[in-house]
Amino acid sequence: MGRIIVTGGAGFIGANVVRGLNARGIDDIVVVDRLRDGAKWRNLLGLRVEDVVDKDDFRLDVREGALAADIDAVIHLGACSSTTETDADYLLDNNYRYTRELCEWCLEEGIRFVYASSAATYGDGALGYSDEDKATPGLAPLNMYGLSKHLFDLWALRRGHLDRIVGLKFFNVYGPHEDHKGDMRSVVHKAHGQVLADDRVRLFKSYRPEYPDGGQVRDFLDVRDAVDVVLWLLDRPAVNGLFNCGTGEARSWNDLAAAVFATLGREPRLDYIEMPDHLRGKYQYHTQADLAKLRRAGYDRPFTRLEDGIRDYVRDHLSQQTA
């Protein structure tokens, strides 16, 4: 395989994908990201890469046709992933237009293009979680982040590009190397810190009678499984389209907290707190990936059980950082 570009390669999923490539003996990798003075640079420790390039410099190179001709694949994971970001113009440019430019360049150059969409495109889930092409146009995201991802999915669908590229709708991913994400860290990471600080976990109250407090459910995905799906698709250029990337099983926040407590050997102690007003109308009470399309494409590997994934993450990574 020739050179691989991983945008967002110093980020959470991106850094794990680069590690997955390194484990295969692949190190001709260019990481594209925005590091500046944050802590994200720590995710590069131990990685074998050819170069690390600022995202704006890379975008300019793409526009000017200044990149080398030996690139085999672009794994485009770079984006603003904040579901609370309110700068719509920024999200449209950074998440939608940037992805369009990169996709068009890859198609012109015959480069494999794998990109990150999001389960946020499904909105409140009223229309289900089908990743079939016929279901995509009717989706209604609840926030601008979800819309910025949805707009690219729609554009690729209308142009017929989904026959030649791969998009992944990631659900709630957790695992190592998410420390830099601030409030966008997984609740696994947050819960671990809360238990160590005051021996309890704080979860949002429910404002819908069919869900108890902490009983809101999500499809929680171990980042190791996310990487496995990405690399499986990278190996299969004949498999294209938009695919869900989750476990296919919905689990509650209470389940998640219980698994953190169990791994730490402590009795569960939960506080249910008020949800901020700005989130109440934009909150997903239920997400669950429909995996039928991914399974039809040939991906038959099992996904990590929530309790097993949390045990490994807390024991082998989070607890090691605080030891």
Question: Which of the residues are catalytic?
Answer: 145, 181
Which one-letter DSSP state was computed for residue 286? B
Please give the Cα distance from 278 to 257 (Å, whole number): 24
**Residue 227 CB coordination number (10 Å):** 22
Residue the block writes with tokens 């590229």: 165
Please give the Cα distance from 10 to 305 (Å, whole number): 26
Residue the block writes with tokens 């570009």: 5
* Residue 275 burial by Cβ neighbours in a 10 Å radius (0-12, 13-18, 19+): middle
Extended beta strands in the chain, E state: 3-7, 29-33, 51-54, 71-76, 112-118, 166-170, 172-174, 201-204, 217-218, 220-222, 241-245, 251-252, 270-273
Residues present in the chain in total: 323
